[in-house]
Amino acid sequence: MQLLRKLAYPFSLLYALVVYVRNICYDKGWFRSQSFLTPVVCIGNLSVGGTGKTPMTEWLIRRLSDSYKIAVLSRGYKRQSKGFRLVKPGDSAIDSGDEPLQIAQKFPEITVAVDADRASGIQELEQNYLPELIILDDGFQHRKVVPKYAILLTAYGKLYANDWYLPTGNLRDHRKQATRADVIVVTKCPPDLGEAEQSHIIALLKPRRGQMVLFSCLKYETTLGGQDRVLDLEELTNRPFTLVTGIADPAPMVDFLRGMKLDFDHLSFTDHHNFSKADIAKLKNRDLILTTEKDYMRLKGELEQVYYLEVSHKFLGSDASRLLKSLKKL
């Protein structure tokens, strides 16, 4: 795999040139960008997946829903439906996408929609659903929309400053585009990340003047969700199970479960994997399956003994308060 990426280096230079020219066209106004009356908070990254955008969306919903009537707009990656679609808790992941469905089921009181054309989707929300705040999930590269506030995520150990462009690396946008963000959040940090290393990371990221760099770690719940009942994570002690993941970076979850001294084998699929009938048939032979929350959106109803492990962001130190204070500018 590494050899193939090295061989693809000339293509990564071409890709970098294309995204560079595209950004210039937006910066010069040759391509049209649009602002909206409704405040838009954009969450995104410069790389392909694995930074925790959906948990960050949920973090914002929990902390802002008392102050705003919130709508969430996503692309709905790998859904089979087209155009604008309002996501309902009873939808299927095939029609709505796994992550939007996860949000709709967890927060039925808010509006969740999908549209590949984010500008068109925001217009639809403004005209027909009247939100007071729109959270744009994975919209940092969607430059047709000018957000009121932009949160850029980068994963600890996989910082965009140390990465290269597709297909040699994982960057899908130029590193300099980080200056468009109001705040940079380094996710998936060790909970005990010290100030010296935080300062080192900030030096690597080279934020513009006044741009905050915050740090968060992943927090896993100790109760497992399921269709008919819930399990305490400790109930899996001395009970072998299969971990099934279809996410960009399963390593943190694997490390967490191994740290719990649990006995499991791991079946890893590509991000947003659509489980085939053959996949489901093989999984039915497993006694107990643990999966991610978004994978559960595609596996529930297909398997009996399947549970999910919920994950959320936990900011280090006073960084949560710093972010909420900054968001008051909305």
Phi, psi of 288, deg, nearest 5: -145, 135
The CA-to-CA distance between both ends of the chain, in Å, stands at 44
Q: Check whether 246 is labelled as a binding-site residue.
A: no
Environment class of 37 (CB within 10 Å of its CB; exposed 0-12, middle 13-18, buried 19+): exposed
213 is in an annotated binding site: no
| The pair of three-digit structure tokens given for residue 112, joined into one six-digit string | 């969740």
Token pair, residue 325, equals: 């204070």
Which amino acid belongs to residue 47? S
Please tell me whether 245 is known to bind a ligand: no
Is 53 annotated in some ligand binding site?
A: yes
d(CA 221, CA 219): 7
Integer Cα distance of 284 and 28 in angstroms: 55
Q: For residue 316, give the nearest of 212, 215, 183 by alpha carbon.
A: 215
C-alpha span between 205 and 159 (Å, rounded): 8
- Annotated binding-site residue? 50: yes
* Residue 48, marked binder: yes
Residue at token pair 């007071």: 132
Give alpha helix (H) positions in the chain: 2-7, 9-27, 53-64, 93-96, 98-106, 118-128, 195-205, 251-259, 277-283, 293-299, 319-327
Ligand-binding annotation for 51, yes or no, is yes
Are the CB atoms for 170 and 47 separated by under 8 Å? yes
Binding site feature residues for ATP: 47-54
Binding site feature residues: 47-54
